[in-house]
Structure 1
Amino acid sequence: MVTYKESGVDKEEGYQTVSKIKNAVSQTYNTHVLNEIGSFGAFYELSGYKNPILVSGTDGVGTKLRIALDSHIYNTVGIDCFAMCANDILCHGAKPLFFLDYLACGKLNSDIAAEIILGIVKACKETGTALIGGETAEMPGMYKTGDYDLAGFCVGVVERNEIIDGSKITEDQAIIGLPSSGFHSNGFSLIRKIFTDINEIYDNKPIYETLLTPTRLYQNDILKIQENFPIFGIAHITGGGLLENVPRIIPEGLCAKIETSKINIPPIMKELQRRGNIKEMEMFGTFNMGVGMCIIVNPENVLDILQLIEGSMFLGSIKHGKEKIALI
């Protein structure tokens, strides 16, 4: 008689995963979470808002996960998964409320799964977000043994009159770049094509350590700025780089003129460009190039913001123009 385990799915390993993460996950809960992990659905009470708008986002880690799996470093990609979702909804002024994850694999190892999810827990705790649900799918025949895929879903809230959507961007407002922590979670198919040996020594350590630096979380930076100054537009610089993401918030008839000489490009990105003989516009259209997020602010607030956020860069200004972005 054939069992489910003999077909490749070990339910007991799934129970072990839940056991290893349950206490840590519960530490992300607040008074708005109304049920425990293991229910069919997660309940979150929304209160304390006058006219709340829910903002949601979903994303994954992409092929950065391949480097994590090959180097057996599992505790950072969960941070990436959370950050890619939470940073997106932050662009509209939304504070993340809760997060759900989806982890799929060929054969479940509860230790590996727990490490990945505990990375999500770490990011949730840093931002005050509740990890209220998720799914772990063991799918033999769909994934090879040792392979995992990871995606997440984040829901946040913003008062209707505080939504940031770029509609208030006007000529002569300033563009500030908030520094990235590295490649974040985009462009890794190209990165892996150039850096073929992830164990090579770069900057006195295996290069995979540099490549696996987690995506920066920008919530605390943005909140710190908003406490003092208005923000009229926010662009999360993900896949497509500055060239594709900044125009998403620029109104028709205006152009974000960005001086590339003012960008502090990380050495690892310069090394990638050199080794791959990659054209500059290809780099700026693929990677964040050291700018993980762009914000549009009043010009008189620039110096104060630069002092407030370490590593931030004044990149240029909003001008009239047919194209929504110009790198100069």
Structure 2
Amino acid sequence: MTEKTRQNTSSYTYEQAGVSIEAGNALVKAIGPLVKATARAGADSEIGGFGGFFDPKAAGYADPLLVAANDGVGTKLKLAIDHDRHDTVGIDLVAMCVNDLIVQGAEPLFFLDYFATGKLENGVAERVIAGIAAGCTEAGCALIGGETAEMPGMYAAGDYDLAGFCVGAVERGEQLTGDRVTPGQVLLGIASSGVHSNGYSLVRRLAKDKMWQLDAPAPFDESCALIDALIEPTRIYVKSLLPLIRSGRIAALAHITGGGLLENIPRVMPAGAHARVDAGAWDQPGLMGFLQDQGNIAAAEMARTFNCGIGMVLVLDEADADSVLADLKAAGETALRIGAVVEGQRGCTVTGGAGCWNRSQAWDAQHLA
């Protein structure tokens, strides 16, 4: 190397390349109390090490099967980013994972998150992670670690992405697999809290094409802004369902996520069992009717895209239906009978007249898995 080359060579730093180690350290320090607040039996919820430990025996399990799930929030994040609604998407992240565990009979034990962005803005990151911690507390699982990735050039300014990973446990022999589902059983539905975290690519397309004023009062509920109705976090069903599962009264559960009612209920139907859902059994929420009306969405498309007001479906014996409904009401859930399991090809049929934003729709759609 010549003397001239040496003189023209400056000393590079990681921060000049767009990554701030100090900002990352500051975030870890800031979220420490949030993480510690999620501690539970089996986890100390300390962060800063290379991994997190969990002791299933300390959590009370004798012979557990471990169940794992991972998920994201999808393009709902774009609505949150564009409208400065960062405080609850962390709840969505946790909900999508823990609700997938509870339907298998598993208690969520610990959670890890992945937060990726082009430039770390600690104010935003703290709000997101605070939501994750709140979701973990609501689900009863410990936030034992995570990863914050600052990756210049990978994301547009202000954008970020989230992924969540959760591990739960169920005592061997008590897992829910659908093998206890038989014709003659009933279907109960638990109300959703909104769109949850699926179908937002369609929601955002409608918002753009129909030029919605998202900060204006919602047409179906003037007490809240339309953006707040759309960003309402996914309901977490763990604490209301876990006692019912452990009581032995639940044959199967279906989390109504992407694919809606038509795609998710058949996932817990064994061969020879067919789910019949009466959409006239519940009033379609105003938000769902608004989406259907704005997009002129066919009833079958609604039933395979959105939860249509039902976030969780329970399958159980007729003899247990009244007691389970009473227990769900006591736990703060809105639940009702929505159908039955009949003999037939494995699948799900949704039928009936249902009020959709003050108008009647004829539902007649079928999915055969």
TM-score range, shorter chain: over 0.9
- Give the aligned partner of residue 146 of structure 1: 158
2:154 alignment partner AA: M
Task: Look up the SS of the partner of 2:32 in the other structure.
Answer: helix
- Structure 1 pair 237/123, CA: closer, same or farther in 2 (3 Å)? same
Please, which of 190, 197, 200 is the counterpart of residue 216 of structure 2?
Answer: 200
- Give the aligned partner of residue 56 of structure 2: 46
Identity of paired residues, percent?
A: 44
* Structure 1 residue 200, shift from structure 2 partner: 3.1
- Give the aligned partner of residue 303 of structure 1: 322
Please, which of 143, 149, 174 is the counterpart of residue 131 of structure 1?
Answer: 143
Structure 1 Cα separation of the partners of residues 282 and 71 of structure 2: 27
2:335 equivalent to 1:319: no
- Give the aligned partner of residue 250 of structure 1: 269
- Structure 1 pair 72/35, CA: closer, same or farther in 2 (3 Å)? closer
Q: Which has the higher contact order (CA 8 A, sep 6+)?
A: 1
Structure 1: gaps of 5 or more residues: none
Deviations 1:258-309 (A, max 9, x none): 1111133210110010011010000100011011010101112222322332
* Structure 1 residue 31, shift from structure 2 partner: 4.2
Deviations 1:114-161 (A, max 9, x none): 110110111111222110010000111110120010110000000011
In the TM superposition, what are the counterparts of 1:4-15 in structure 2 within 5 Å?
A: 4-15=14-25
1:293 alignment partner AA: M
- What count of residue pairs does the alignment treat as equivalent? 328
| Kept after mapping to 2: 8 A contact 1:107/1:144 | no
| Kept after mapping to 2: 8 A contact 1:57/1:89 | yes
- Give the aligned partner of residue 237 of structure 2: 218
| Kept after mapping to 2: 8 A contact 1:246/1:256 | yes
Task: Look up the SS of the partner of 1:288 in the other structure.
Answer: coil
- Give the aligned partner of residue 116 of structure 1: 128
In the TM superposition, what are the counterparts of 1:1-328 in structure 2 within 5 Å?
A: 1-33=11-43, 36-47=46-57, 48-196=60-208, 197=212, 198-202=214-218, 203-204=221-222, 205-226=224-245, 230-310=249-329, 311-328=334-351
* Structure 1 residue 34, shift from structure 2 partner: 5.2
* Structure 1 residue 320, shift from structure 2 partner: 0.6
| Kept after mapping to 2: 8 A contact 1:75/1:116 | yes
Structure 2 Cα separation of the partners of residues 131 and 42 of structure 1: 9
Structure 2 Cα separation of the partners of residues 188 and 209 of structure 1: 14
TM, length-normalised to structure 1? 0.97
1:201 alignment partner AA: P
Structure 2: gaps of 5 or more residues: 1-10, 352-369
Higher alpha-carbon Rg? 2
1:214 alignment partner AA: P
| Kept after mapping to 1: 8 A contact 2:178/2:252 | yes
Runs of 4+ in 1 over 6 A off after TM superposition: none
